[in-house]
Amino acid sequence: MGKDLSMCRLLDLYGGLLTDKQRDIMDLYYNDDLSLGEIADHYDISRQGVHDAIKRGDESLAEYEQRLGLLKADEQRRDEIAHFKELALDAFNECNAHRSFRSVAEKIVTLLETFDERLEEYEVPSPEDEKQ
Amino acid sequence: MAVKIRLRRIGAKKAPFYRVVVADSRYPRDGRCIEELGYYDPTKEPTVFKVDAEKAKAWMEKGAQPTDTVKALFKKNNI
């Protein structure tokens, strides 16, 4: 059984809907990369029990995503913002070329900054930044 | 057999990002690790996997067990 790491994004979004214990088990499995056997030792339950809990959790998460679609909506939102940013950039370049439109160009800069901030939320911090 | 090579998630919500660490399997949660070998970023396309191959080999010779996920990543990246 291979680990599907895309599952951990669903766990971020819908983890709160699972029971505490189930979420803990799935957190250990996906986020800390423990094996089924290790989790079983940790909780004093059988390997099979852990496997079942994770499988049930996977199914729940997949169903939540199917019904609520937050992950998909989130990705769409990011693409949209990126698209808006492109449009704004075009507008900025056009306005900047004409002296009479300079004041509009300045306003577009504010807009671009806002889009950048929104897009930053989706960025993965680089490993150098993460060094503690 | 207590030492393992595994992934550990850091990174923010929505943005999973893993460190490849050597850690004691008995204390999975306390955050201590013996050594950091590199990192794995599944969000990029293609995914980025960077580890110190020499160190990883040295640890495995000493008996450190990579988890299945890490093993698969090693294999995919020819380590």
Tens of each residue's pLDDT in chain B, 79 residues: 578 888 888 877 777 788 888 888 776 666 677 888 888 887 777 788 888 888 888 888 888 888 888 888 888 877 6
A60 and A75 share one domain: no
Give the distance, in angstroms, between the CA of residue A27 and the centroid of all CA atoms in the same chain: 15
B13 to chain A: which residues are within 8 Å by CB?
A: 12
CATH code of the domain in which A34 resides: 1.10.10.10
Question: Is B58 in a helix, a strand, or coil?
Answer: helix
Contact A36, A3 (CB under 8 A): no
Mutation for testing the A interface, residue in B4, B5, B7 having most A CBs under 10 Å: B7
A77 and A54 share one domain: no
pLDDT of residue A66: 92
CB-CB: which of B9, B41, B67 is closest to A31?
Answer: B9
Q: Which of A28, A53, A68 is the last residue in one of the domains?
A: A68
- The answer, yes or no, to whether ipTM is higher than 0.90 is no
Beta strands in chain A (DSSP E): none
Interchain proximity B39–A42, CB inside 8 Å: no
Cα dist from A129 to A62, A75, B8, B47, B48, whole Å: 32, 24, 16, 19, 16
- Residue in A65, A68, A56, A63 with CA at minimum distance from that of residue A29: A56
Q: In chain A, which among 51-80 make CB contacts under 8 A with chain B?
A: 74
Query: What percentage of chain B exceeds 90 in pLDDT?
Result: 0
A76 and A111 share one domain: yes
A79 and A116 share one domain: yes
- Per residue in A56-96, pLDDT tens? 999 999 999 999 988 888 889 989 999 999 999 998 888 88
Q: How many helices (H) and strands (E) does chain B have?
A: 2, 5
Give the count of domains, chain A. Answer: 2
pLDDT of residue A130: 47
A124 in a structural domain: yes
A42 and A77 share one domain: no
A12 and A46 share one domain: yes
A1 in a structural domain: no
Give this prediction's pTM. 0.72
Q: Which domain holds residue A97?
A: 71-131
- Per residue in B33-43, pLDDT tens? 788 888 888 77
